[in-house]
């Protein structure tokens, strides 16, 4: 789960830029928050990300313990191109990881959370 400052902006990033789909969304007016779950497939078979929007909080400091979300892709450079074309922010271009050969890249969501794109072996 990650807390977001603007749910519409975050949903647009995860669905339109990263190509996920909105799995489900629940409004909690009494608690003044909304939960939205996004992913690449049904949560019975795929991992999903829970986006929590507290209506009265527009911004959060990113936690020291949070590293990043990782997504497997066939071609990290092509994924960066698609994300950039869709308005996403690439913060590390595709290339081999430090001290290894795995190809990866990083993009950033509207709240500053990092998403690592890890190229599948033989991708």
Written as six digits, the tokens of 17 are 């830029």
- pTM value? 0.83
Whether 116 is catalytic: yes
Q: What is the architecture of the domain spanning 69-119? A: Roll (3.10)
Over range 84-108, report the average pLDDT. 95
Written as six digits, the tokens of 22 are 């909105």
Does pLDDT of 16 surpass 60?
yes
Residues in a beta bridge with 109: none
Out of 30, 59, 93, 116, the active site residue is: 116
**Is the CATH code 3.80.10.10 the one for domain 2-54?**
no
Q: Indicate the domain borders of the chain.
A: 2-54, 69-119
Largest CA distance in the chain: 50
pLDDT at 95: 97
């Amino acid at each position: 789960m990650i807390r977001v400052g603007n749910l519409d902006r975050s949903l647009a990033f995860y669905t339109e830029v990263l190509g996920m789909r909105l799995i489900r969304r629940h409004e909690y007016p009494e608690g003044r928050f909304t939960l939205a779950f996004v992913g690449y497939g049904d949560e019975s078979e795929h991992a999903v990300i829970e986006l929590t929007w507290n209506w009265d909080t527009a911004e959060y400091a990113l936690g020291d313990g949070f590293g990043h979300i990782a997504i497997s892709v066939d071609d990290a450079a092509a994924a960066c191109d698609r994300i950039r074309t869709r308005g996403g922010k690439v913060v590390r271009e595709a290339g081999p990881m430090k001290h290894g050969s795995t190809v990866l890249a990083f993009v950033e969501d509207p709240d500053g959370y990092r998403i690592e794109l890890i190229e599948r072996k033989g991708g």
